[in-house]
């Protein structure tokens, strides 16, 4: 009898601990998830970020890149002289000068170019969310999504047992969303990093031998940005599912949605290459060629 009571008390204590963890995550994590997932030009318009990047060619990262122009010219000059000895093919001086003038100008305007690319991707993902709002009369967001799940699938008045099917499902989904927080936070930071190195990427277009660096950069940058379009599509599909029936099929489909969200970055990597921001995949992998 005493052993039975002890087991019940231990089980109740464990369930209470996990219930508190789930409640804390539900109340704090999902609004943050929306903010770091669906980014817009605000990510590159913060005063501290602009200060690092540089407001003019004589400040910040732009100053370093403009200083490297002399190195690019010397590098080309040496290659041009060596090409006469080795009879290797190299771009003509007129072609080099034209590309230098063009891409140095683009380099100094790279922040504006990156912000416009971010704005276009943001408009696409916002349009998908607006479409879902018109179709289903509710906001397409992580906050609303988990709220719908908690209201329709899980009984708030019933104690959740961690060793039950519902408890296992809830544990999986909470851990899945925690994984999303870390992965999307890494994505948020990496987008800022790629914007900061954009002047170097555009400068690499001046020389034919360094064009592959720009190709790798643009592929990774677009892959990170387009991920939020795929996320918006997955959430749109999630709201199209009927979770009103509290059955195992609905719960399994819910897990499928969570799994698809955690694999969104992997899908983009498989399609376009670039960088992996999944926490389970380490710090990420960057393709170093233009293939």
Per-residue pLDDT 10s for the chain (291 aa) are: 555 565 556 566 666 665 666 666 665 677 788 888 899 999 998 999 999 998 888 888 999 999 888 888 888 888 888 877 777 777 788 888 888 899 889 999 999 999 999 999 999 999 999 998 898 888 888 888 877 776 665 555 555 666 666 667 667 777 777 788 888 888 999 999 999 999 999 999 988 888 899 999 999 999 999 999 999 999 998 888 766 666 667 777 777 888 888 888 888 888 877 777 766 544 444 443 444
Domain positions in the chain are: 2-281
Q: Which phi and psi (to 5°) does residue 275 adopt?
A: -125, 140
Give the burial string for 64-98 (b: 16+ CB within 10 Å, else e).
ebbeeeeebeeebeebeeeeeeeeeebbeeeebee
Place of tokens 């100094």: 108
pLDDT at 31: 73
pLDDT value at position 284? 41
| Structure token digits, residue 218 | 């643009």
How far is it, in rounded angstroms, from Cα 174 to Cα 187? 20
Measure the CA–CA gap between 31 and 270, rounded to whole angstroms. 29
pLDDT of 238: 85
pTM of the model: 0.81
pLDDT of residue 191: 93
Q: What are phi and psi of 286, to 5 degrees?
A: -120, 125
Residue 286 pairs in a beta bridge with 275
CB atoms within 10 A of CB 20: 10
**Number of CB atoms found within 10 A of residue 175's CB:** 13
Do residues 215 and 290 touch, judged by C-beta distance below 8 A? yes
CB 73 within 8 A of CB 67: no
For residues 167 and 39, give the distance between their C-alpha atoms in angstroms, rounded to a whole number.
33
- pLDDT at position 287 is 41
Q: How far apart are CA 199 and CA 107, in angstroms?
A: 5
Contact 178, 29 (CB under 8 A): yes
């Amino acid at each position: 009898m005493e052993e039975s009571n002890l087991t019940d008390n231990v089980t109740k204590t464990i369930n209470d601990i996990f219930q508190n963890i789930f409640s804390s995550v539900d109340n704090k994590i999902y609004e943050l998830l929306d903010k770091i997932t669906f980014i817009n030009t605000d990510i590159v318009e913060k005063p501290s970020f602009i200060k690092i990047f540089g407001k003019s060619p004589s400040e910040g990262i732009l100053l370093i890149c403009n200083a490297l122009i002399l190195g690019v010219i010397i590098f080309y000059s040496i290659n041009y002289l060596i090409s006469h000895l080795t009879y290797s093919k190299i771009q003509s001086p007129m072609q080099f000068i034209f590309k230098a003038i063009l891409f140095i100008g683009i380099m100094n305007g790279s922040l504006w170019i990156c912000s416009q690319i971010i704005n276009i991707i943001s408009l696409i993902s916002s349009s998908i969310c607006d479409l879902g709002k018109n179709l289903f009369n509710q906001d397409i967001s992580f906050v609303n999504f988990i709220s719908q799940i908690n209201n329709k699938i899980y009984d708030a008045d019933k104690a959740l047992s961690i060793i039950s099917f519902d408890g296992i499902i809830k544990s999986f989904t909470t851990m899945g969303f925690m994984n999303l927080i870390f992965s999307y936070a890494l994505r948020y930071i990496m987008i800022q990093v790629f914007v900061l190195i954009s002047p170097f990427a555009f400068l690499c277009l001046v020389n034919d031998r360094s064009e592959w660096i720009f190709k790798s950069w643009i592929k990774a940058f677009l892959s990170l940005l387009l991920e939020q379009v795929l996320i918006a599509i997955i959430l749109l599909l999630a709201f199209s599912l009927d979770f009103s029936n509290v059955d195992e099929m609905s719960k399994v489909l819910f897990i499928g949605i969570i799994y698809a969200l955690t694999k969104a970055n992997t899908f983009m990597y498989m399609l376009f290459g670039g960088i992996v921001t999944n926490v389970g995949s380490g710090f990420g992998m960057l393709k170093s060629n233009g293939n």
